[in-house]
Structure 1
Amino acid sequence: MSDTSEDDNEISFRVKFLGRVEVVRPVGLQILDEAAQSLKTTDKYSPEKAAKKSKVHLFLSLSGIDILENKTKFLLYTCPLSTVSFCAVLPSSPKVFGFVAKHPAADMYHCYLFQSKTFSHVLVSVIGDAFRISKKEENIRGGRDLIVEALRHKNKMLQKENSELKRRLAGQTD
């Protein structure tokens, strides 16, 4: 089921969190498949793999994806949309979907896998749309910053020219 907040800038879905796996590449269905296979094999050294499937709230906004524990609302993970590089439904299991995000502080990628009986394709579509909108807004902001910087530079050049002309004019009258 999904809920939207009052300002409609955030949407949440209750899904099963299958786990988070470190991956070597940022994109590709093969990465999703490898991550799913990795979660199926138990690893006594990785508590993330050993964790039972848990229900979580997946909150999606234009700023990022938050994964909250269902009962306590404890924030498990947060991924800014700018770090998300790939999102898809697992072809071999249509109820399973995931996304790959770059770790904000380290040079590594993690694949987050979820299961939903009915919303997998919808969630992938919504995450993709939010990612595209976020990138578009980022580019617009970046474009505005570039324009502002160009105008500052032009203003500085005109001020220098104005000072030079004032100096010449003062030199001619003396």
Structure 2
Amino acid sequence: MEESQTHVSSPFEALQETKSRRRDLLPWWIKTFTWLFMLMAAVVPIGVVMGLMGLSFTMSLYGFETTNPISPTGIALTLLILFKGVTAYGLWTEKDWAVRLGIIDAIIGLVACGVAMFVLPLVDRSEGFVLNFRLEPILLILYLLKLQKIKPTWEAL
């Protein structure tokens, strides 16, 4: 009679084998943008302080640009960048809410890009109607689709 030998592993090893990291669900390009937006969110408060001191600070996102962080455009950009930073932090630290917030972030980004590409040229007629096609919507659509695809697995882990 042969005895079968089984490998006895520690509970810690078993846990590592069965539980994968949520971060591993993210492709390299989302991980790269995650770091970029966390860095941008960390720098934005410096720009706000500079704006309060009367100094200029260039901010740009989704086709909106300003050198005054205290202007309406600057405040909107500050809020967008901080929102993206919180989303990026949540994705990087594998928070339960991160993918849901990322989906909202992608939708807000697509709306903002649409406004910048199609509405602003109609409102600002100083140079005539100039259609400004941006590449961000392509990445935002890919981001949205990827987050929707990994959402069930993310929530199950």
State the TM-score, normalizing by the size of structure 1: 0.27
Give the structure with the larger helix fraction.
Answer: 2
Structure possessing the higher radius of gyration over alpha carbons: 1
More strand by share: 1
Q: TM-score, normalised by structure 2?
A: 0.29
